[in-house]
Amino acid sequence: MDGLIFKNRRVQGFSLIEVILGLAVLALMMTTIITLVVWNTLTNSEASRKSVAVSYALEGLEAARQIRDQSFAYITPGNHGVTTSTGQWAFSGASNSLDGGNYVRTVRVNLVDADRAYVTSSSTYPSITGISREVALASYLNNWPRAQNVQVVFVGDCAVGNDVYVSGNYLYVAINTAGGGLLIFDVTDPQLPSSIATVNVGGKAKGVHVSGNYAYVAVDNASAGLAVVDVTNPATPSLVATLNIGNIGNGIFVSGNYAYIAQNSVSGGLVVINITNPLAPSLAATVDVQARGNRVFIDGNYAYVSVASAIKGLAIVNVTAPTAPVYLNSTNVGAFGTGIYVAGGYAYVSAASNSNGLAIVNVSNPLAPSLTAQVDVQGSGQGVYLDGTGHAYVGVASQTKGLGTVTVTDPTNPSFLLSNDLDPATDGTDTFVSGNYVYISSSNNNHCFAVNNIIL
């Protein structure tokens, strides 16, 4: 019979060293866990603070955009805070202290050029180490509203317009009608002009310039190329003088006591008239500018004449002594010169070319002008006016693109922006900028001008 055999075993307990080591490992693990939990909490706090700072910076950048949309003129260089105390965003102070001073936001503006700004919106925030940190966001802001939103808001119900001029709250339109050459409109509200007067100037009005209480009109009349109209009260104008200038008047510019008329003469394209007494104008001089004169612009001691010559579209005359003007030179602008505007050492010549309707000539030295650039304005250029903020508005002979807008911030590198239909489709003949509006004379038989709103 088999028996059961029992063996005794000795079971040992943990030694003291093993217990101590175990406790040490456990303590290390707990410390690591606690450290990770604490670090994670602090890291989340840091991320949260940074996120708030980013939100403030984003808000600052968006505020700058909305300020730009109100008017690019409000985008001034320097450090700014922003506020909505007036119901819309505006710059205020040099920065904003936010959340009890924990965050400081600064919107910094650097102007790149007349139509572009580099804007940085930064926000400081307290880090977990106690050191102040910063986030910054940046963007270029462009003056796109002015360049890209030109809208026709009114079309004048009148015959073909040749030229427009705005003085105060009144618009003067030279129209191609022999019995009523000058029309006057009240444009206190540019979007709702009202006709207030018509003046018979003895022929079709080709150009108009207002100075003081008088409107001086270039007239399509070989025996009375200048008409002077008293517009002391624009609602009751009166023809007070005419003058035989030797030929038909095309364009006119008044400077000081003299009126300069570009006239339709191949041997006397510029005429100078003494208007010291507007009631008795007198011929002061005639200048041969090598072609028929179309438009004239006075800048300093020089007269710049756009002329009807395919190889001499711009003529320059020294008028330091208006009674003894001196023809200096001519520049080829690629086609007949039709309109002229001078600013900042450059002459902007609208040209009768379907491919290069605007020419820019460097006239910083009138004795040595040079063609700088040409721009395709989607049709033949007929007249040009600058708005002072880097844009040229060109009247264009195109049934669907009567107004062309060109960026000329850098005259050596101009760029065409857009065209506008004057609605109804018609050619633009000349332009004038006043405030936020472009006035365009129009060749339409029923609409002598249009008003375009430049939305800032």
pLDDT at res. 100? 84
pLDDT at res. 283? 97
Q: Which residue has the higher pLDDT, 28 or 358?
A: 358
pLDDT at res. 14? 55
Taking the CA of residue 433 as centre, how many other CA atoms within 13 Å lie in the half-sphere pointing to its CB?
A: 21
Q: Average the pLDDT over 346-367 and give the result.
A: 96
**pLDDT tens digits, residue range 207-235?**
999 999 999 999 999 999 999 999 999 99
Q: What is the pTM of this model?
A: 0.69
Q: Residue 70 — pLDDT band, cuts 50, 70, 90?
A: confident
Domain ranges in the chain are 21-142, 146-454
pLDDT at res. 448? 81
**Encoding tokens for residue 448?**
């002598």
SS3 67: helix
Tell me the average pLDDT of the chain.
87
pLDDT at res. 113? 75
Q: Residue 432 — pLDDT band, cuts 50, 70, 90?
A: very high
Which residues does 53 contact at the CB level (< 8 Å), separation at least 6? 103, 123, 124, 125, 133, 134, 135
Q: Which residue has the higher pLDDT, 455 or 162?
A: 162
pLDDT at res. 289? 96
pLDDT at res. 158? 77
Closest residue by Cα to residue 123 from 98, 99, 104, 142: 104
Highest mean pLDDT among 132-141, 289-298, 447-456: 289-298
The third-level CATH classification (topology) of the domain covering 146-454 is: Methylamine Dehydrogenase; Chain H (2.130.10)
Report CA dihedral (408, 302, 260, 274) to the nearest 10 degrees.
150
- Kindly tell me the burial class for residue 130, based on how many C-beta atoms sit within 10 Å of its own C-beta (0-12, 13-18, 19 or more): exposed
CA angle 261, 228, 230 (to 5 degrees): 140
**pLDDT tens digits, residue range 374-385?**
999 999 999 999
pLDDT at res. 446? 73
pLDDT at res. 88? 84
Q: Residue 148 — pLDDT band, cuts 50, 70, 90?
A: very low
- Cis status, amide bond into 369, omega within 30 of 0: no
Work out the percent of the chain whose per-residue pLDDT is above 90: 59
Are residues 381 and 353 in contact, defined by beta-carbon separation less than 8 angstroms? yes
**pLDDT tens digits, residue range 153-210?**
666 667 789 999 999 999 999 999 887 799 999 999 988 889 999 999 999 999 999 9
pLDDT at res. 5? 47
pLDDT at res. 308? 94
